[in-house]
Amino acid sequence: MSMAFSKVPLFRYITFFSLPPPPLPRLRTLSCPQYPFCSLSSSSASSSTSSSDSSTSPPQKNTSSRWRPTCLYFTQEKCTMMDDPVHLEKFNHDISKDLQVNSAAKCSQDLDFFLVLDLEGKIEILEFPVIMIDAKTMAFVDFFHRFVRPTEMSEQHINKYIEGKYGKFGVDRVWHDTAIPFTEVLQQFEAWLIQHWLLGKEQGSRLNRAAFVTCGNWDLKTKIPSQCNVSKIKLPPYFMEWINLKDVFYNFYKTKKSEASGMRSMMNNRKIPMFGSHHLGIDDTKNIARVLQHMLADGAQMRITARRNPDSQNVEFSFENRI
Ligand SMILES: [Zn+2]
């Protein structure tokens, strides 16, 4: 989770977008604020900010290439409006769209796949997004995305927390509609890993030919172990090692520390435009994946930067010069 944010309100999510009309107390559709954390650098996107209520607008022509917010019901396999052209026009249902590449990785990699992960949630995990990238072709392969319901917080605290965190993007309702406990998220994630042959079916396996890629050490060094503790489960062994993209970036490009200190600074340094809402996990994950693709195209060798010792639980880092 990187800390910088944009103050430029260029795009917004609409709160009321995918399921059939909800019960009245949850309707909060008509006052769509300009979400202060939204940021969009796509040159074709500035024309797309005008329609505020898609439910009555006809589909616009020639807009298929413009940037659109992702349908967050779809990413969690819960979109019920896939046959509604207005909905399809308004929301992106193709995660690969922002991750197109026209070259392959410049140098060979030890791993076959990278799993870009960028958790959200300071107290407990609220969002668990993963994007799978092919190490050789740099192509998008698949994604896994779930909103996560805290286990130890009161309902009142959750409501306030979600309002503050996701209300500004207008996606608090989809969060409430879809969030499931962390233990269920992990079960579904493991099934997803097995489906991609990245994890053996027996418990206790490490990742096969793949590694997590994160922006910093916080996600896997701090947050996952702390959430496992709260959720009263053992830390799964596939979370024991990872690639901190910032360390690889810093050492590969030989930048100043400040230029590799977060997602936004790395994107600025490489002049990669940012898509979506900063601090919406699925959008940040896409942007980090785009930094990864850029680095692979430039010839960066990805390698494990941090390993947790299963006995001592201490984390050891491989780069001498680290962020
Ligand atoms: Zn949808």
Is residue 168 domain-resident?
yes
The question of whether 120 is a catalytic residue gets the answer yes
* Ligand 1 center–CA 127 separation, angstroms: 18
Output the domain CATH number for residue 168. Answer: 3.30.420.10
Q: Using pLDDT thresholds of 50, 70 and 90, give the confidence band for residue 205.
A: confident
Domains: count for the chain: 1
Q: Using pLDDT thresholds of 50, 70 and 90, give the confidence band for residue 46.
A: very low
| Cα gap 186→203, rounded to integer Å | 13
Q: Is the pLDDT of residue 173 over 80?
A: yes
* Nearest Cα residue to 273 out of 70, 10, 36: 10
Catalytic residue among 87, 120, 127, 241: 120
Q: Is the pLDDT of residue 43 over 80?
A: no
Residue written as tokens 């053996």?
A: 200
Q: What is the pLDDT of residues 248-283, one digit of tens each?
A: 999 999 999 999 999 999 999 999 999 999 999 999
Catalytic residue among 87, 145, 278, 279: 279
Q: Are 108 and 302 in contact (CB under 8 A)?
A: no
Is residue 17 domain-resident?
no
Q: What is the pLDDT of residues 112-146, one digit of tens each?
A: 999 999 999 999 999 999 999 999 999 999 999 99
* Ligand 1 center–CA 83 separation, angstroms: 9
* Ligand 1 center–CA 315 separation, angstroms: 40
SS3 94: coil
| Cα gap 69→188, rounded to integer Å | 24
Mean pLDDT across the chain, nearest whole number? Answer: 83
Is residue 14 domain-resident?
no
Residue written as tokens 């949850």?
A: 26
How far is it between the farthest Cα atoms of the chain?
A: 60
* Ligand 1 center–CA 17 separation, angstroms: 8
Q: Which of 33-37, 108-112, 168-172, 189-193 is predicted with the least confidence, judged by mean pLDDT?
A: 33-37
Is residue 5 domain-resident?
no
* Ligand 1 center–CA 197 separation, angstroms: 28
The pLDDT score that the predictor gives to residue 206 is 86
3-state helix, strand and coil shares in percent for the chain, rounded to the nearest 5: 35, 15, 50
Domain of residue 49: give its range: 24-317
The pLDDT score that the predictor gives to residue 219 is 98
Q: Rounded mean pLDDT of 207-214?
A: 96
* Nearest Cα residue to 1 out of 320, 273, 268, 261: 261
Is residue 7 domain-resident?
no
Q: If residue 251 lies in a helix (H) or strand (E), which one and from where to where?
A: helix 245-253
